[in-house]
Amino acid sequence: MTMSNNPDAMEGEKPRPLAEGKKAARKEQSMTLWQAVRLYPKAVGWSVLLSSTLIMEGYDLALLGSMYASPAFNKKYGFQSASGKWTVPASWQSALSNGARVGEVIGLLINGLISERLGYRWTMVSALAAMNAIIFLFFFAVDIKMLLAAEILAGIPWGIFQTLPAAYASEVCPVVLRPYLTTFINMCWVIGQFVAVGVNRGSIQRTDQWAYRIPFAVQWAWPLPILIGILFAPESPWWHVRRGNLQGAKRALQRLTSSNDPNFDPDETIAMIQHTNELEKALASGTKYTDCFKGTNLRRTEVVCVVWLVQTLCGQNLMGYFAYFCVQAGLPTVHSFDLSLAQYALGFIGTAGSWFLMTYTGRRTLHVCGLASLFTLLIITGSLSFAPGDDSAAKWAIGAMLIIFTFCYDFTIGPVTYSLVSELSSTRLKAKTIVLARVGYNVSNIVVNVLTNYQLNSTAWNWGARSAYFWAGTCLVCFVWSYFRLPEPKGRTYEELDLLFEQGVSARKFRETVVDPYEGEEDHVEVREEHHKD
């Protein structure tokens, strides 16, 4: 079947044959990676562009943590202790990191309310415009209170960036590409962290205001170019179908795919999207936040929310204190940043490696095995803390464990989370389910940040590396939950996942259970021209 060149061909077509939707679903499931890349090259490019917004947040998170090692930054925004040393107290460190989390929660809630009305594209453009203005507050901050205000306000667009790229990538790409493009988001985090450490490494030895103003100014490198690019991006065809705009859905799909494939028919893909939308409406009508907790959506919401909570509870917060442990080992501050660069470089390699492993093992296996590995590394790290205080070898071993931990995390839990949350939520409630999950992540992150600051700060609990035991306990709980509750979405269309959840299939049996979304249905499904209502 050849591609239709008339974007209005679908307008007024009622009903659409189910055979077309079934044909598109079978084509999508049998598509190889190379075939998908050749058919959807523009979808890949647009997904990568939207995901690159996460580089900004990864940059800031790593930047702020490494800034505390900068004498010029501490003198500008910190307080002088009785010993005459300038430092930013643990209470203010917690306030700065958690201020951003508070802003992100606000941004996430705003995103859930407006993204289905405005669409993914215009929501992202609005957030980027706001981010460009907020960077001025960072650059011209005169004291730590103004810096806190900047963190809170910046958190609002960051909250939008955290969820929209995953939702967009999962909707504009076929099944075989979804794990690659959703997990690429984790790579964007790692890239941002790597750049932050590199920039701070280059300015850490400066004694003037530019030691911290240069790193803040680098944030302007991203918003404007990305904003200009997204202005030309097509909207998700799934969003158009949910709005009842079939003409817009077809135009978007044609802009996302190559026009050189004679075997691709956009009408078939639109029929599949329509069938999925109608199926989800039949299983659980409604697209409000409350609908996330009704019927089979309750289980899906639980899975998506807990999967993201696992990221905060598996001990990954210790990765951000790698430079701290290096300094404790007696390494000069500048060289600790050099090792931090190596740490994030391994994170980059780990994320790329996860793409190949997911193809063979699936998401669930990678997630469960990843938690088992992280638990083991945390136990070893905690045990090393019992070495004598003057044993530098033990301190170096702790640093080495954190480097290995970073690699394992970015090889497993870090990237696979984005694939799971985007695939396991229903398409009609995707934006709201992911928002709820990320809100839970940010709230738990606030608690985790406070705990970690007090666990490691020498003027507070001073647990040092023994804190790894605490996070090993939470990691073990996450492992047990993942084993019994986390399903495998590998190779499944959204229609198949809908039926698997509807039939209450055990998480451990998702992979081998056979379902046919088109079995026993009439040859057509009625298409409703409707407008989305919240």
More confident residue, 166 or 285: 166
Tell me the three state secondary structure of residue 318. Answer: helix
> pLDDT for 426-468, tens place per residue?
999 998 999 999 999 989 988 998 898 888 877 778 888 899 9
Please classify residue 51 by burial: count the beta carbons closer than 10 Å to its beta carbon, then call 0-12 exposed, 13-18 middle and 19+ buried. Answer: buried
Residue 316 lies in a domain: yes
Residue 431 lies in a domain: yes
How far apart are the C-alpha atoms of 192 and 329, rounded to whole Å?
Answer: 26
Q: Are 94 and 231 in contact (CB under 8 A)?
A: no
Q: What is the pTM of this model?
A: 0.84
Q: How confident is the model at residue 534 (pLDDT cuts 50, 70, 90)?
A: very low
Q: Are 437 and 304 in contact (CB under 8 A)?
A: yes
Q: Are 499 and 521 in contact (CB under 8 A)?
A: no
Q: Are 350 and 342 in contact (CB under 8 A)?
A: no
Q: Are 197 and 341 in contact (CB under 8 A)?
A: yes
Q: What is residue 17's predicted lDDT score, i.e. its pLDDT? A: 60
Residue 534 lies in a domain: no
Residue 139 lies in a domain: yes
What is the torsional sign of CA 482, 483, 489, 494?
negative
- The fraction of the chain above a pLDDT of 70, given in percent, is 92
Q: What is residue 516's predicted lDDT score, i.e. its pLDDT? A: 85
Half-sphere exposure of 373 (CA within 13 A, CB side): 19
Q: What is residue 132's predicted lDDT score, i.e. its pLDDT? A: 94
> pLDDT for 241-266, tens place per residue?
999 999 999 999 999 999 888 788 89
Highest-pLDDT range among 60-69, 424-433, 470-479:
470-479
CA distances from 122 to 32, 179, 236, 380, 470 (A): 32, 25, 12, 48, 43
Pairing of strands 86-87, 79-80: antiparallel
Question: What value does the mean pLDDT take over residues 124-141?
Answer: 95
HEC string of 151-220? HHHHHHHHHHHHHHHHHHHHHHCCHHHHHHHHHHHHHHHHHHHHHHHHHHHHHCCCCCCHHHHHHHHHHH
Q: Are 283 and 500 in contact (CB under 8 A)?
A: no
Residue 520 lies in a domain: no
**Nearest partner of 51 among 199, 175, 195, 222, judged by Cα:** 222
CA distances from 527 to 130, 154, 276, 279, 342 (A): 38, 42, 12, 12, 54
Q: What is residue 525's predicted lDDT score, i.e. its pLDDT? A: 40
Residue 475: partners with Cβ closer than 8 Å, 6 or more residues away: 313, 314, 315, 371, 374, 375, 378
Residue 527 lies in a domain: no
Q: What is residue 530's predicted lDDT score, i.e. its pLDDT? A: 42
Q: How confident is the model at residue 329 (pLDDT cuts 50, 70, 90)?
A: low
Q: Are 354 and 190 in contact (CB under 8 A)?
A: no
CATH (domain of 165): 1.20.1250.20
Highest-pLDDT range among 102-116, 384-398, 444-458:
102-116
Which amino acid is present at 264?
Answer: F
Instruction: Provide the residue range defining the domain that includes 473.
Output: 31-512
Question: What value does the mean pLDDT take over residues 1-30?
Answer: 61
How far apart are the C-alpha atoms of 255 and 249, rounded to whole Å?
Answer: 10
Quote the number of domains for the chain.
Answer: 1
**Nearest partner of 213 among 334, 76, 80, 58, judged by Cα:** 76
Residue 526 lies in a domain: no
Residue 13 lies in a domain: no
